Structure 1
Amino acid sequence: MPRIQWSRQFFRLHRITGLAAGIMLLLISITGSMLVFTDEIDHAMYAHAWHVSPHATSRTLQEQLKDARKALPGNPYLFFVRLPQAPDESSILRAEYSATDKVYIFLDPYTGSILQQYSNTAHFTGFIMYLHFSLLSGSTGATIVLITGIGLFLSVLTGLFVYRHAIGKVLRFRQALEWNNRTRRWRNLHRILGVWALLFNLLISITGFLMEIKVLDAWKNTQTGYTGIPFRGEFEPLLAKAAAAIPGFRATGLRPPRKVGDPVKIPGHAHEAAFFGEYASSVSIDEKGAVKRKVDFSKASFSDKLNSAVAPLHFGNYGGIILKIIYSFLALTPGILSISGFLVWYRRKFIIGKKGRLT
């Protein structure tokens, strides 16, 4: 096939994938841009729930679990999402009724009182997250988002070929926007944004694809592991054993057994890079206090570290506010590119094409 025909085929594929995913990309871009600031939004909306007045002693973790369970219907699987890391922090627990039905509880560790309670989709960022990954439509919506992500990936790759001669010009700031030129404004905007956001959109499409696969996998198992079972031991001695198992380990959460015979899993961190978050390392201990498994993430394999890097790279929550602002802006580019791409196509198809037919 002649080279010019190859170019036309790539351009056609770029146009089709971009237009087909356009509306979805706009929605995912807007919600993704908002999710960059999940922590800041949640802290602002529920400031009263994150901090407490310190007392001399706190209630045991078993007592806190009982306090939280009293506020819940049924017998869901209940665990500590976050243990207090400072004397003035609350305990955060999550009750799981199913893969899609979860309730978060903020609890005063000194008094056992409930400071805040909401379901996974009944608070602002939870709703946006659910919309972003599944369009509020469960596995069907997640599949649509997955296909959209593939469309973005193909659009970026074909765009790299279509605009290969313009990349150097754009990066050297020699591509003018020409906003006053009605013929070129949208084409040039599309080209400039596409080039500058190229690597970011590749990153977002790949990490988003991997995360969406995990979301779909979670919907496959919606029946088991969502009922609380009795635990006869005390959790505080297990925290001490976990700290001794890995040098420098600090527990940040606690997961009681899901099934009879399972160990207690204590996630935390042990001086690994902050990029990987506060839950990368973990120690699993049975009721008798025997360490069954430990993961010192500072010694993890490259593949394990790469897998843990997926979520931070996708959401940009591993840096300060400046990085988040940059991520938030770049997260809008797929939506903007879908709009500008549509306008470029519309102009060629219905305006320029119509003028050509008239002449």
Structure 2
Amino acid sequence: MVASIGKNIAAKIHLWLGLGSGLVVFIVALTGSLLVFEEELEPILYARFHVVTPPAHARRLPLDQLVAAARAQFPGKKVGRIELEPHPDRTVIIGLQQSKKAKDLLSVAVNPYTGQVVDSRQEEAAFFAVVLRLHRYLCMGDTGKVITGISCSMFLFIMVTGLVLWWPNRKNRKQRFTVKWNASFKRLNWDLHAILGFYVLPFVFLIALTGLVWSYKWVNNLLFYAFDGKPQTKREAPANPSAGTPKSTQLYEKIYAETSRLLPYTGVVTFTFPETDSLSITASKKNHEAAISNIVDFLYFDNKTGDLVKKRLYDDETMGFKARRVVFPIHTGSILGWPTKLIALVVALSAASLPVTGFCIWWGRRRKGKKASSATAKKPTARKIPNPQLGIQNL
């Protein structure tokens, strides 16, 4: 009796939360599946932008010369970012900004061997940038962030109530673990919703839970409180030591050479330039040789002389910062490379299917209920035939 009442309550919660968040969950899960292999698909979709043919025995031109070529093609813009891939057949991408707005970033791809600008794009309009905005904010800014945050929170409760509804008894235990592929559409749809949902539930729950780190600041701080006993501290580039000194003509090449020397492992190097000359240049390098992904070291350089100002290495970070670094690869499935990415892809597509199959279950029951009500309303009421011996009171 108690179990039956509990399942009825769980069913109502599961239904109404599902109807309320289903469309958002579908969009978030589907866009998430596209983002799983973003790093691999990006150079394929935008080969002209990313890929060059390195000539035999050719050496890369100095970075300062490449930056100068990009700025000559697009004058009046300030250098905001430089990105260098470790592969010899990749372009050097230089981000130019006309204003302080992040969406104003123009990415310019330069052939590192010839100095020729091969392509450019407004970063805001790139395919994966649009997919990411859909995934995080539904392309609706802060309003969309609130909607996706609430919907993902609801999805966590949906998964818990779904597990309660799926929970087998002695009679249906076998049926709860096996999809009956040759069954009717109604039965197959139910199996795909309930049984497939059960198998992917631990992974989807973890992905949705880690996603809340981007939706709510208090969740992010909770992670730091758990490991460091205090909220996340703001990280920014240190003050630049040499104010007023003329800028070195080989500034960027000097910074890159020193970064490669101090961080000799393979990985993408990114220079981030401050909005004002009062702060140092940040050089970050992602360690492709680490056991898990998203391991990044930071170096800070004088924006005039290129001298090292400060190191911020991953090994010296707090436990809270290291835990926060792991959240992203867990969420995207990139934590252990291709194997976990494939799992994340299957899980994301399965999660996207759950609102669809769930809606079909609800719609089928709704139509069945309407048909039953209509049939009851149309059914003629049995008319009693008067018995002459009893008089007219029976009419």
- After TM superposition, is the score higher than 0.5? yes
Q: Identify if the C-alpha distance between structure 1 residues 321 and 179 changes in structure 2 by more than 3 Å, giving closer, same or farther.
A: same
Give the greater-gyration-radius structure (CA).
2
Determine if the alignment matches structure 1 residue 141 to structure 2 residue 141.
no
Q: Name which of structure 1's ranges 232-241 and 331-340 shifts more when overlaid on structure 2.
A: 232-241
1:340 alignment partner in structure 2 = 357
* Residues 1-359 of structure 1: pairs in structure 2 closer than 5 A: 4-48=4-48, 49-54=50-55, 56-72=58-74, 74-80=76-82, 82-96=83-97, 97=99, 98-165=101-168, 174-177=177-180, 180-181=183-184, 184-213=187-216, 232-233=247-248, 234-243=251-260, 245=262, 252-269=269-286, 273-277=290-294, 280-286=296-302, 287-288=304-305, 291-319=308-336, 321=338, 323-352=340-369, 354-355=371-372, 358=375
Q: 1:62 to 1:128 in 2, by over 3 A?
A: same
Q: Which has the higher mean CA deviation after the structures are superposed, 295-304 or 256-265?
A: 295-304
Residues 1:186 and 1:251: Cα distance change in structure 2 (over 3 Å): closer
- The separation in 2 between residues aligned to 1:288 and 1:298, in whole angstroms, is 27
Q: Give, in whole Å, the separation in 1 of the partners of 2:145 and 2:78.
A: 25
Distance 1:342 1:275 in 2: 38
Q: Which runs of 5+ in 1 are unaligned?
A: 218-224
The amino acid that maps onto 1:252 is: V
Shift of 1:8: 2.4
Three-state SS of the structure 2 residue aligned to 1:197 is helix
For structure 1, which segment, 301-310 or 54-63, has the greater mean C-alpha deviation from structure 2 after superposition? Answer: 54-63
> Residue 358 of structure 1: CA displacement?
4.2
AA matched with 1:202:
F
Pairwise CA distance, 1:299: 4.8
Aligned 8 A contact 1:170 1:192 in 2: no
Cα distance in structure 2, aligned partners of 1:327 and 1:270 = 22
Tell me: CA distance 1:101–1:209, structure 2 relative to 1, closer, same or farther (3 Å): farther
User: Could you say what secondary structure the match of 1:89 adopts?
Assistant: coil
Shift of residue 313 of structure 1?
2.1
Moved more, 283-292 or 302-311: 283-292
1:192 is paired with a residue of what secondary structure? helix
What CA deviation, in whole Å up to 9, does each residue of 1:303-322 have, x standing for no partner? Answer: 22221122222223455555
**Residue identity matched to 1:25:** V
Structure 1 residues 292 and 198: CA distance shift in structure 2, 3 A: same
Change in CA separation of 1:111 and 1:196 when aligned onto 2, cut-off 3 Å: same
Cα distance, 1:251 vs. partner? 6.6
Q: Tell me by how many angstroms 1:194 deviates.
A: 1.2
Q: Pick closer, same or farther for the CA change 1:288–1:118 going to 2, 3 Å.
A: closer
SS at match of 1:165: coil
Q: Is the 8 A contact 2:176 2:195 kept in 1?
A: no
Distance 1:251 1:313, change over 3 A: closer
Question: Greater shift after overlay, 106-115 or 95-104?
Answer: 95-104
Who is 2:224 aligned against?
Answer: none
Question: Compared with structure 1, are the counterparts of its residues 31 and 247 closer, same or farther at alpha carbon in structure 2 (3 Å cutoff)?
Answer: closer
CA contact (8 A) 1:91 1:109 kept: yes
Count of residue correspondences: 343
Counterpart AA for 1:90: T
Give yes or no for contact 2:293–2:336 (8 Å, CA) kept in 1: no
Q: Determine the C-alpha separation between the residues in 2 that align with 1:179 and 1:304.
A: 50
TM-score (norm 1): 0.80
Does the 8 Å contact 2:166/2:176 carry over to 1?
no
Deviation at 1:254, TM superposition (A): 1.6
Percent of aligned pairs with the same amino acid: 25
Change in Cα spacing, 1:139 to 1:160, as seen in structure 2 (3 Å) is same
> Contact between 1:83 and 1:92, CA under 8 Å: does it hold in 2?
yes
Shifted more, 175-184 versus 257-266: the winner is: 175-184
1:236 match: secondary structure: helix
CA distance in 1 between partners of 2:215 and 2:123 (Å): 17
Higher relative contact order (CA 8 A, sep 6+): 1
Structure 1: how far apart are the matches of 2:305 and 2:283?
Answer: 15
CA distance 1:84–1:192, change in 2 (3 Å): closer
1:343 Cα offset (Å): 1.8
Q: CA deviation at 1:192?
A: 0.5
1:59–1:109 Cα contact (<8 Å) kept: yes
Going from structure 1 to structure 2, the CA distance change for 1:317 and 1:249 (only over 3 Å counts) comes to: closer
More moved, 236-245 vs 88-97: 236-245
The answer to whether the 8 A contact 2:297-2:313 is kept is: yes
> How much does 1:301 deviate?
3.8
* RMSD of Structure 2 on Structure 1 (CA): 3.5
Contact kept in structure 2, 1:33 and 1:327, CA below 8 Å = yes
The structure-2 alpha-carbon separation of the partners of 1:212 and 1:71, relative to structure 1 and needing over 3 Å to count, comes to: farther
What is the rounded CA distance, in whole Å, between the counterparts of 1:270 and 1:190 in structure 2?
39
CA distance in 2, matches of 1:47, 1:197: 34
- Partner of 1:305, secondary structure, is helix
Q: 2:265 & 2:127 partners in 1: Cα distance?
A: 36
TM-score of the aligned structures, taking structure 2 as reference length: 0.74
